[in-house]
Structure 1
Amino acid sequence: MMDASQLKGLREYCRCLAMPEQLNLRHLQYFWVISREGSIVKASEVLDLAPQTLSGQLATFEASLGARLFRRERRSLVLTDLGRMVYGYAEDIFATTAELTEALKLPSAERPISLSAGVSASIHKLIAYHLLQPAFALDRPVSLHCQTGRTADLMLGLKRQELDVVLTDRMPHLDDQTRLTVHPIMRSTISLFASPEMASRLRDNFPASLEGEPFLANATDAPYYDQLMNWFSVAGIRMRLVAQIDDSALIKVFGREGAGVFAAPTVISAEVCRQYEVEKIASIDEVSEELFAVTRGRTVLHEGVKAICRPATLFESGIHR
């Protein structure tokens, strides 16, 4: 799979292909096979061409570039610096071509649907999985590219058509010029968790039992965090902030080891307890998290995105979409 810089290079190359006096795709293929086989003689056997013909085609390709792609060392062909760069792009181009050829052989109903999704870094990873999972329940296979990051950066990617959908835990600001649509897809209260020993002790006399106890905070600026701090303040509870962690899984590992209390959406409490061997202390109905899917346009046409935005009950604990 090509990364962003390689994809940019491929686009630049494809633009160059429109100018046959500079680059020729057949010449690039000949060069690629020669590089892969290590000699013109071996490449000519693969391509079923006379060595003299292939040598002439390579010379024409090098002349169009104005530089040599190989240098001779004894009886071997060795790539120059330019040759190595061109070969890298050729590898990606012809690997992609092979994948496309295989995909086109499939019946249309079996071709994978490409889905690029952005997920706000502050969304719990278990929830993100469940929100994306409906796309994999379609009759056709899905090829998912998932990117996490700041909501603002992901929204920019959506506007640039680099992403098909953005999952975020904050209502985005949309101006009249923005052709984006926000779909509310989930709301959950927040619960507190800790190691079994600590949770057992803190359940008695909750929430007063939290006074002075260590707290593990989410450092990714989750919107519900301010609500939770306000709830502590109104309840007259002062906990000790012992760590700020930007990885939701790492917070739970700290909690499992008894380092402190942490918060997570109630909707995944059963999975959190099972996966990280912690226990729920209590749920706080006054604090909640709401998630949204943001799409381009007024009508969702992408089947995978439509599945993600479709109202459904995902969790046995009562997620609301």
Structure 2
Amino acid sequence: MSQINYKHLHYFWVVAKAGGVGKAADQLHLTPQSISAQLGLLEESLGVQLFRKSGRKLELTDTGRLALGYAEAIFVLGEEMQDALRQHPGRRVLQFKVGIADVVPKTMAYQLLEPAIHMAEQPKMLCREGRLAALLGDLAVHKLDLVIADRAMPNNLNVRGFSHLLGECGISFLASAELAASFKSTDFPGVLADAPLLLPGEDAAVRPKLMRWLDSLHIRPNIVGEFDDSALLNAFGQEGVGMYPVPTAIVKLLQQQTGSVLLGTTNAVIEQFYAISTERRLTHPAVLAISQAARQAMFVEGK
């Protein structure tokens, strides 16, 4: 097999990111004809088609998308090396790029990521929040080192990834002091039947578990709000709009921060948190620190 011409690969990367040969030509200060010729040579050397024409535009083939993931990793790492050498001669700054599913409570995300902050060689942390599917897409093309989620890797996504259970905990219910005081009954979980309740949206893995648990107790809650974003759910709950569920692992910290009242806790509903990576065996120093700390201190040991 012939060796990859990295100049040609760089042209491919720029074209894919720019969205077309014309825009890439402007960025590279070359003629479109020259770039097209270089792309043709790259495809010929690899023996695959990277782009296909769609009208007047170019689209990546499935093979092209796969190649783009590797090219992204190669050239982003090259840019990081240049930055590290300019800013810290003789030493490379470790970067840790992590995606956090928006259903994961922000306080929980911090608790999980905190061990990486206190490493001997503190990494530069780059955090992105979003829907799990989008984050896993970025993980597949090496834009992220890790995704923290409330579920294992979905089977219906054409993305290569491995799930590592960080731990699990029960669910607690909180309410603002004013809302809690307005209910004479303090019986838990019965109090939930009479009160306004906030719930995570349908994307949250814990949502169906909560609904099954409430149904098993014949509790028909007055659901006044559903939130895809956990921070928004907690903000509404802290303002007294409704009682709200949180992972038991962070309930004491949330009480201290917000003054919310603990209504009760159940282990009949278990929430799990996963680290999803492209590695079957974790090797990134920051990821190892997170995994070890979570298993030793934060949660019940993963099954």
Q: Same fold (TM over 0.5)?
A: yes
Residue 260 in structure 1 maps to residue 242 in structure 2: yes
Instruction: Give the match for residue 281 of structure 1.
Output: 263
Choose 223-232 or 166-175, whichever is displaced more: 166-175
Over residues 149-192 of structure 1, what are the superposed CA-to-partner deviations in whole Å (9 max), with x where a residue is unaligned? 121121121111111111111121359x9653211002010111
**Which residue is equivalent to 2:286?**
304
**Aligned partner letter, 1:155:** L
Q: Does 1:160 align with 2:141?
A: yes
Give runs of aligned pairs for residues 1-321 of structure 1, distance below 5 A: 8=17, 16=28, 99-105=83-89, 107-108=90-91, 111-173=92-154, 179-199=160-180, 201=183, 204-219=186-201, 221-311=203-293, 312-315=295-298, 320=301
Deviation at 1:224, TM superposition (A): 0.9
Please give the secondary structure, in 2, of the residue aligned with 1:132.
Answer: helix
Alpha-carbon shift at residue 229 of structure 1 (Å): 1.2
Q: Deviations along 1:207-263, whole A, 9 cap, x unmatched?
A: 222223111122362111111111111111111111223333332332233221111
Identity of counterpart residues, as a percentage? 27
Amino acid at match of 2:150: D
Q: Is the 8 A contact 2:153 2:161 kept in 1?
A: no
Unaligned residue ranges in structure 2 (runs of 5+): 1-13, 35-78
TM-score, normalised on structure 1?
A: 0.64
Distance in 2 of aligned mates of 1:226 and 1:290: 13
Partner Cα separation in structure 2 for residue 313 and residue 96 of structure 1: 33
- Deviation of the 1:119 alpha carbon: 1.1
1:310 counterpart SS class = helix
Task: Judge conservation of contact 1:202–1:281 (CA < 8 Å) in 2.
Answer: no
Residue 39 of structure 2 is matched in structure 1 by none
The residue type paired with residue 105 of structure 2 is: H
| Aligned Cα root-mean-square deviation (Å) | 3.5
Alpha-carbon contact 1:192-1:263 (below 8 Å) kept: yes
Does the 8 Å CA contact 1:189/1:285 hold for their aligned counterparts?
A: yes
SS of 2:199's equivalent in the other structure is strand
Distance (whole Å) between structure 2 residues aligned to residue 114 and residue 13 of structure 1: 31
Deviation at 1:97, TM superposition (A): 9.5
Matches of 2:159 and 2:219, distance apart in 1: 43
Which stretch has the larger CA shift, 295-304 or 221-230? 295-304
What residue ranges of structure 1 are gaps of 5+ in the alignment? Answer: 23-94
1:307 Cα deviation after fit: 1.8
Note the C-alpha offset of 1:286: 0.4
Structure having the higher Rg: 1
* Residue 37 (structure 2) aligns with: none
Supply the AA of the counterpart residue of 1:136.
I
Q: Is the 8 A contact 2:201 2:207 kept in 1?
A: no
Deviations 1:55-114 (A, max 9, x none): xxxxxxxxxxxxxxxxxxxxxxxxxxxxxxxxxxxxxxxx98984443341x43xx3211
Determine helix, strand or coil for the equivalent of 1:291: strand
> Hey, what does 2:60 align to over in structure 1?
none
- The answer to whether the 8 A contact 1:130-1:314 is kept is no
In 2, distance between residues paired with 1:279 and 1:131? 24
Q: 1:249 to 1:269 in 2, by over 3 A?
A: same
1:59 paired residue number? none
Matched residue of 2:206: which SS? helix
Q: TM-score if structure 2 supplies the norm length? A: 0.67
